[in-house]
Chains A and B, each alone.
Chain A
């Protein structure tokens, strides 16, 4: 059974850098052709795709946030990490990691999400 779990700080201050970690179980990042994205949802709002890293280390970013985002993976720990710089209160949201089984497929497995609040 594939599970994803997000972890990171619940509260960050404006201008700080956010680091979120997505830890997998039930599959290996080093042996599976998978595609992992970060998606966020502001309170009461819709979904916003942020970034994706592929099994072969190809990376894709939201055009509007590209300058602030970095996605990476640590196959030895079965983790995908997202950093977002210069956090602002408008970045307050629940951040999800989600997996696609193939490049153009659905997000078929999601983590439970982690709520990040940006406030001084």
Chain B
């Protein structure tokens, strides 16, 4: 099982907003920056959000990140069919001395 917990799937209609949660603990999310990655079908992950809430290079402002305590949230507004992908959260875990990830959330744009 993944160290960080994400919902397996979320869905929303085009133009709507969706949020994806990522839950961890004091040794990972609470103590370190959280990162979000987007994995389009058949491709490698690419960075979306770094350092909790900073958009990576080239990422539109429809994507935003936040963190509170042991949880983090990725929000996507103005959903487009091209946003259909798997989304992963990741961070460093002080207890494991390892980078850890969530199990991924599959976004479906209905």
Q: Please determine whether chains A and B interact with each other in the same assembly.
A: yes
**C-alpha gap A67/B96 in the complex (Å):** 15
Question: Are the CB atoms of A49 and B101 closer together than 8 Å?
Answer: yes
Quick one: CB contact mask for A46-65 with B, threshold 8 Å, 1 for yes?
11110010000000101100
Q: How far does the Cβ of A57 sit from chain B's closest Cβ, in whole Å?
A: 18
Cβ contact of B98, chosen from A62, A104, A110, A113, cutoff 8 A: A62
Chain A CB within 8 A of B63 CB: no
Cβ contact of B50, chosen from A52, A62, A106, cutoff 8 A: A106
Chain A CB within 8 A of B45 CB: yes
Task: Known A46-B103, A49-B101; judge A108-B44 contact (CB<8 A).
Answer: no
Quick one: CB contact mask for A100-117 with B, threshold 8 Å, 1 for yes?
000011111011110000
Chain A CB within 8 A of B68 CB: no
Among the interface residues B43, B44, B101, which one has the most CB atoms of the partner chain A within 10 A?
A: B44
A contact residues, range: 20 to 34
Binds A, one of B10-18, B30-38, B72-80: B30-38
Chain B CB within 8 A of A37 CB: yes
Task: Known A60-B97, A108-B56; judge A47-B47 contact (CB<8 A).
Answer: no
Among the interface residues A37, A48, A52, which one has the most CB atoms of the partner chain B within 10 A?
A: A48
15 A-B pairs with C-beta separation under 8 A: A37-B99, A45-B103, A47-B104, A49-B98, A52-B99, A60-B98, A96-B44, A106-B37, A106-B47, A106-B51, A106-B56, A107-B90, A108-B50, A110-B46, A112-B44
